Each structure stands twice: as structure tokens, then as C-alpha cells.
Amino acid sequence: MSPVEGSSTALWDALEALPTVASSLQARSAVLVPLYDDGNGEMRVVLTKRPDHMPTHPGDVVFPGGHIDPGETPLEAAVRETWEEVGIPAGSIEVIGGLSPMTTRNRENLIIPVVARIDRPAELIPEPAEVDVIIEPRMVDLLDESLWQNRDYYGHELWFYEFPEGTLWGATAFMMRELLEYLR
């Protein structure tokens, strides 16, 4: 039986195979992949939709995160940005591991993804300047291949996942697809 056919516990167990969080002096950004058990036996992930007025990646569905400040590690930046963007406190974050560093359309912006289990606060608080809406899909839905589309984007095959609130695609979709491989 694959983890997706089993319980939330099986999904958590599958994540034990994640490597440690990458470390790179070239990294300019970090994101947190916040996962939690919703109390009904479902693993969920916290995503945000960026406001349409943002100068970079307007309207994109992304993981909480942002630029690494001078003197910060990628983990510290991911935790700080997650607190600032959606109100998940650092004390409720347990790092599980990392995903492969990657870039966006801006090849100079190397992003370090940090996968963590969180104790979801009773209320997530979106920072209006950076978050239009918070999306909390079930991992079992993200594992459903029939809900994903692979489309041409200016000569590149990219993955897309449509939520009613917006589209998951680009670097975040690549990160999500890598995470899903650990859960299959």
C-alpha cells in the first residue's frame, strides 16, 4: 500500500526520507513548506496567493517565504517570513527536512525550501501587503494526478494546479511535485 492509500501517519512517515535543509551561500530566498494534520486524519499544506499588486510574482500561489536577510540562515528566513506572512509562530514549527534548491524565472534568485510540521494556530493571519488569501489544500488532493496539468509555457513544460483562488505553477509547483514524490 502506498502512503497516499494509507493514513496521515503513513504520509508523515514517508517524509522521514527527506534530506536535510540545503545550505548555500548563493541562496537569496527561503520558503517554508508548512504541513499539518487537520485533526480529521488529513495532512494539509499552507499556501498563499500573492496580491495582484506585488512587483514580483503577482497573483501567484506560493509557499510562505522571502528574502534571506544579512546574517540569517535559510531556515531562519523561512520561519521569520512565515510568521510575518501568515502568523505561524516559530515555536510551532518542527523542521522535517528540505527540498532541492531552485530558482524562479530570475535565475539569480536561488530559493531554499524548508519542509516543516506545524501546530496550526487557531487562526492564520494573512499580512495584507503580501498575502491576498491563504489556501490549505489536503495533500491527498495534491497527490491526485488527474488534478494536475502539464502545459507549454514559452517552450518549457510546466506543471499547473488550479485552485478556486489561483494557480499553483512555476518554482512552487516544482517544489510541490518533488514533495509529492516522497509521499507516493
Taking only the tens place, the pLDDT of each residue in 91-146 is 999 999 999 998 876 677 899 999 999 999 999 999 999 999 999 999 999 999 99
Which residue, chain included where needed, has cell 486524519? Answer: 41
Helix (H) or strand (E) holding 86: helix 74-86
Q: What is the pTM of this model?
A: 0.91
The reported pLDDT for the residue numbered 71 is 92
| Across 19-33, average pLDDT | 90
Confidence at residue 3, expressed as pLDDT on a 0 to 100 scale? 45
**What radius of gyration, in Å, describes the C-alpha atoms of the chain?**
15
Residue 53: per-residue pLDDT? 81
> If one looks up domain 3-183 in CATH, what number appears?
3.90.79.10
Report domain extents, the chain: 3-183
For the cut 60, the answer to whether the pLDDT of residue 5 exceeds it is no
Specify the pLDDT at position 8: 77
